[in-house]
A and B are shown apart, each in its own frame.
Chain A
């Protein structure tokens, strides 16, 4: 019933607006078009400058509301992210200045040069010096941004530092699987045709590769060491996903068939970040940033950044997946891999 009334009220409001508008059209005809046009012009000219002022206040107020409590305002939690933040600030300043100048000019000109009977518009069709000025200045400023941006880009997309810890992360609908290379520091070979979750091989690891025997597989939660570069090898089993790391300012797609990489250096442990943000529930989250199906929004992973000692304590408790799969499958694992391979 209340829905019905709501609809009736909305329709009534529309009718009232419409009637007033129609009446105002008749009034303007009676008053004379010239006169009512000038009146409209004054109102809209005033609204232009009012919009400008209220808009500027709104920009300030919005910033006051949403700048604190924002992952951005806490600062990046990785060395590389700090660099991105710095560039972001440069860009904010440059685009911000242009924003304010052009918007103020736009609305101010609209207000100031609104129609007056006495005024004659200036016949001013071109001026090559002005055109040159506003071609060259943006070009120079943008060149500077490109140079700094590309320097950072080549660094981030270049090779990871040698001491980086390699971790594999695999996306599927709708979750993340994490694999550590184990003591030999080599990730065992994979072949997607060997994928067989029922027999303890959800990632399709080729057990014939001895390097796989000490690999450790955990779902969802990744543990990394603070101040030590991490290199992610990113895979997908089904559709395109994306490893989004908002706190570290990093992102890379997970593409089926084409492994990608991403590296960064976390600089605050999860605990430090909880203090820094004043949020005891803070965790580093892995957000899927590429539409991947109806559970896209639930595709959440967690990164725990901890000290080397905490990491070692955690790692020592993990059991290689190879052993787990053998334990779960007592009947001659070697044979089953063979049949899988034939398939």
Chain B
């Protein structure tokens, strides 16, 4: 298909926006430059650094609860030194164990892989790759970060509440989360959780609307939708999904707050707890699950799509080949985004839902495997007969594909309701989603950071540290999550503090210990990355004008100066004449998007 022919509309171009200011930069104070910045690049840095801090906290939590799972009958006195009464005698308190599990999930899903991934790269790449000076509304964009920041502050403060943070699992199913008597974590911690997530939703909506408007309206001259790099397509669908589904979570959160404080019974009925008969009647806890997963499932794709987009871009660039099946890639993004809104109840097969309804969700769930398969085969074909350069970003992109395959295939098991009756809420599920959206999306994020670091910070990262980081993380990811499938096949339930009293599951003690050790090693390996990241921001090798396009990439962001100021381009925004994937065409290594089509150029 010819990309020029598909397009009929002229994109809106705002060429003169803030034009005059960009040759000499405004004098900016520290506060307007680094804190309340409206420059999309600085905001993306803020999202990234906040995301990294959260990732360390969330990862550390997993290390703590893995200690408990790996060594259920051993005391670690140092835990008491750090955690005080949460780890009396060096053993994690049960309540606190669940708090750790809950916070690990919440932090990683929302704060790291949604805000940290999509917030960073949508902000950074959308204006740069579509050819815009900034977002459509830089002010809303700034607000988006500060709402995220305040959500972070509230969530972080909940860690220090007397009764502990929320601890009913990141899915906070009522009645457990609605009743203060059900567990300590359902007291103040739960309220803070709900407030924090409400703030977070505001942040996502502000960000998402901005991304959509920028992509639709602020493309530079010649940048038709069909010439957009796949990263932008992925951010576009991510933002659309977020705007459509996050408000539903907000409604779930608000109703839950009502149930908690105003005596309503949206989710509550027939409850006898701690010797008390509650007056609530007629509500349904399943209603909450429907509302939650209406966001919760698209959320998985909100996390995965940007990673897929980044992977596509990185694989194509470093294979020195066009991405195979560009239109099929866009089409499968669209199919995944659409289907992802129609599959939420596959998290609820065993709630006693109507079997017919269940069957519809089975159908749509397994259908999602088709666009996912298309993506995988297209990535493989992109590698085929390429000339592959293993930059650290490329390694992580290949790692992403590998993990996405491994985790994606088990989705076919779990989406099949009959098999889900056995596998639901077991370690099989843990292995599945950690591989396919957890670690895989982290890999997508690492690929993005290593790839765009020179553009983001004007310096290079250290390659040797990056290679070490990749290989240890890659091997570790498989060592941690692959054997978990076997625990899941045995029906071993997730969110258990200790398995030693269970005849069916206690034979995995050695394995649990092994997994814990690897998890700890992998966690500490991430400090190679973190150190490399922060060190390179200040001390890395500088990007010069001569090598400002280090990966020989075709896309627009590399045409900006080596150290772009607010406004991105000096002078006019370049015009685009071709799609983003002219690698190895007509004997040339790459042809930038800004180069007009030559007279004798072969069509693609």
Contacts and interface: CB of A to CB of B under 8 A. Distances in A.
| Most B CB within 10 A of own CB, among A107, A114, A125 | A125
B369 A253 contact: no
A251 B424 contact: yes
A294 B416 contact: no
| Most A CB within 10 A of own CB, among B173, B174, B471 | B173
Contacts of A163: none
Nearest to A261: B352
| Most B CB within 10 A of own CB, among A22, A28, A124 | A124
Interface in A8-63: 10, 14, 17-18, 20-22, 24-25, 28-29, 37, 40-41, 43-45, 47-48, 51, 55, 58-59, 62-63
Q: How large is the interface on A (under 10, 10 to 19, 20 to 34, 35 or more residues)?
A: 35 or more
Nearest to B417: A153
A100 B494 CA distance: 28
A237 B413 CA distance: 32
A17 B465 contact: yes
Contact of A257 (B270, B468, B501, B524): B270
Interface string A149-193: 110111011100000000000001100000000000000000011
A21 B465 contact: yes
B86 to A, nearest CB: 12
B351 A255 contact: yes
Contacts of B358: 153, 157
B271 A256 contact: yes
Nearest to A287: B493
B410 interface: yes
A146 B366 contact: yes
Contact of B418 (A127, A138, A153): A153
Interface stretch (A210-218, A277-285, A309-317): A277-285
B327 interface: yes
B584 A293 contact: no
Contacts of A249: 421-422, 491
Nearest to B395: A44
Nearest to A146: B366
B433 interface: no
Contacts of A146: 362-363, 366, 416
Nearest to A98: B409
A153 to B, nearest CB: 5
A291 interface: yes
A88 B423 CA distance: 10
A305 interface: no
A224 B550 CA distance: 70
Interface string B491-519: 11101111101111101100100000000
Contacts of B351: 253, 255, 260
B160 to A, nearest CB: 19
Contacts of A255: 284-286, 351-352
Contacts of A120: 387, 584, 587
A304 interface: no
B263 to A, nearest CB: 16
A70 interface: yes
Given A22-B462, A119-B387, A14 B362 contact: no
A242 B424 CA distance: 10
A102 B409 CA distance: 11
A234 B174 CA distance: 18
B78 interface: yes
B173 A290 contact: yes
B181 to A, nearest CB: 8
Contacts of B182: 173, 238-239, 293
Contacts of A88: 413, 419, 422
B490 to A, nearest CB: 4
Contact of B463 (A10, A25, A252): A25
Interface string B262-288: 000000111111010100011111100
A246 interface: yes
B345 interface: no
Given A120-B587, A238-B272, A149 B324 contact: no
B592 interface: no
Interface residues of B, number: 132
Interface string B77-96: 01000000000000000110
B352 A109 contact: no
B375 to A, nearest CB: 10
A71 B273 contact: no
A91 interface: yes
A261 B352 CA distance: 7
A154 B355 contact: yes
Contact of A291 (B168, B269, B474, B491): B168
Contacts of B504: 71, 246-247, 285, 287
Interface in B329-350: 350
A330 interface: no
Interface stretch (B35-43, B192-200, B314-322, B437-445): B314-322
A123 B581 CA distance: 10
Contacts of B369: 138, 142
A258 B269 CA distance: 8
A99 B363 CA distance: 22
| Most A CB within 10 A of own CB, among B319, B387, B395, B501 | B387
B328 A3 contact: no
A66 B483 contact: yes
B582 to A, nearest CB: 8
A272 interface: no
B28 interface: no
Contacts of A58: 478-479, 482
B482 to A, nearest CB: 6
A293 B496 CA distance: 10
B162 interface: no
B217 interface: no
Interface string A288-304: 11111111111010000
Contacts of B430: none
Nearest to B488: A72
Contacts of A62: 482-483, 486
Interface stretch (B46-54, B126-134, B245-253, B377-385): B377-385
A84 B504 CA distance: 19
A73 B389 CA distance: 43
A55 to B, nearest CB: 7
A342 interface: no
Nearest to A85: B422
B491 A246 contact: yes
B352 A25 contact: no
Given A120-B584, A156-B418, A289-B424, A66 B486 contact: yes
Interface of A: 3, 10, 14, 17-18, 20-22, 24-25, 28-29, 37, 40-41, 43-45, 47-48, 51, 55, 58-59, 62-63, 65-67, 69-72, 81, 83-84, 87-88, 91, 94-95, 98-99, 102-103, 105-107, 109-110, 113-116, 119-127, 130-131, 134-135, 138-139, 142, 145-146, 149-150, 152-154, 156-158, 172-173, 192-193, 195, 197, 204, 234, 237-240, 242, 244, 246-247, 249-253, 255-258, 260-261, 279, 281-283, 285, 287-298, 300, 343
Interface of B: 1, 78, 94-95, 98, 167-169, 173-176, 179, 182-184, 268-273, 275, 277, 281-286, 319-328, 350-352, 355, 358-359, 362-363, 366-367, 369-370, 373-374, 376-378, 380-381, 383-390, 395, 398, 401-402, 405-406, 409-410, 412-413, 416-419, 421-422, 424-426, 462-465, 467-468, 471, 474-475, 478-479, 482-483, 486-487, 489-493, 495-499, 501-505, 507-508, 511, 524, 527-528, 531-532, 541, 581, 583-587, 604
16 contacts: A3-B78, A25-B463, A106-B380, A109-B386, A113-B386, A119-B387, A150-B359, A204-B272, A239-B173, A239-B174, A256-B268, A256-B270, A257-B271, A290-B173, A294-B184, A296-B98
List of 7 A-B pairs having minimum Cβ-Cβ separation, nearest first = A246-B491, A257-B269, A260-B352, A157-B355, A66-B486, A44-B390, A72-B489
Given A14-B528, A237-B272, A294-B184, 8 more contacts: A3-B78, A40-B467, A91-B419, A98-B405, A123-B584, A125-B326, A130-B325, A297-B496
